[in-house]
Amino acid sequence: MLNKLINLIKGKSDPATETVRIPFGRYSDNNKSVTKGSRWTEADNLFKDQKYMDSINAFFDYLKDDDQKNVNFNGSADRFDFEFFQGSKVVRGRLENGTLSAQVKLARMPQPSVPVMRRLLEMNFGLYYSRYTLNNDELCMRFDTNIETANPSKLYYGLKELAIKSDKQDDLLVQDFSFLERLDEDHVDDIPENEKQVKYEGMQSWIKETLEKIASVDADKFSGGICYLLLALVYRIDFLIAPEGQLLNELEKISGIYFKKDDRQMVEKNRDMIEEFKKLLDKPKEEVFKNLFRSRYTFSIVTPQPHKTIADAVHEANNNMQWYRDNSHEYFANKIIEYGLTYCQYSYSLPKPLTQLIEIFMQVNYPEYFKALGYTQPLYMPVTNKFEQDAITARIRQIQNQWRQKYPLMNFDTNQLSFTNLLRFNHSFSNQVELLNMNNE
Residue 1 has pLDDT above 60, yes or no: no
| Cα 43 from Cα 85, distance rounded (Å) | 21
Residue 131: strand pairing partners: 142
pLDDT digits (tens, 9 = 90+) for 376-421: 999 999 999 999 999 999 999 999 999 999 999 999 999 999 999 9
So what's the pLDDT on residue 152?
Answer: 96
So what's the pLDDT on residue 266?
Answer: 93
**In whole numbers, what is the pLDDT of the chain averaged over residues?**
91
C-alpha distance from residue 408 to each of 225, 232, 355, 412 (Å): 37, 31, 17, 12
3-state secondary structure of 409: coil
User: Taking a C-beta distance cutoff of 8 angstroms, is the pair 74, 102 a contact?
Assistant: no
User: Taking a C-beta distance cutoff of 8 angstroms, is the pair 393, 414 a contact?
Assistant: yes
Cα angle 431, 435, 441 (rounded to 5 degrees) comes to 155
User: Taking a C-beta distance cutoff of 8 angstroms, is the pair 278, 211 a contact?
Assistant: yes
| Cα 397 from Cα 356, distance rounded (Å) | 11
Q: Which residues, 6+ apart, have CB-to-CB distance to 44 below 8 Å? A: 55, 151, 152
Residue 5 has pLDDT above 60, yes or no: no
So what's the pLDDT on residue 6?
Answer: 47
3-state secondary structure of 173: helix
Which amino acid type is present at position 362? M
Mean pLDDT lowest among 30-39, 81-90, 413-422 = 30-39
Mean pLDDT lowest among 30-44, 91-105, 380-394, 412-426 = 30-44
So what's the pLDDT on residue 9?
Answer: 42
pLDDT level of residue 12 (50, 70, 90 thresholds): very low
Residue 8 has pLDDT above 80, yes or no: no
pLDDT digits (tens, 9 = 90+) for 163-215: 999 998 888 888 889 899 888 777 778 899 999 999 999 999 999 999 999 99
So what's the pLDDT on residue 10?
Answer: 44
So what's the pLDDT on residue 70?
Answer: 92
So what's the pLDDT on residue 17?
Answer: 59
- How are the residues of the chain apportioned to helix, strand and coil, as percentages rounded to the nearest 5? 55, 15, 30
The dihedrals phi and psi of 387, each to the nearest 5 degrees, come to -100, 140
CB atoms within 10 A of CB 313: 19
The dihedrals phi and psi of 93, each to the nearest 5 degrees, come to -155, 175
Cα–Cα nearest to 30, from 295, 355, 259: 355
So what's the pLDDT on residue 322?
Answer: 97
User: Where are the alpha helices (H) located in 348-388, listed in sequence order?
Assistant: 352-365, 367-373
So what's the pLDDT on residue 15?
Answer: 52
User: Taking a C-beta distance cutoff of 8 angstroms, is the pair 291, 244 a contact?
Assistant: yes
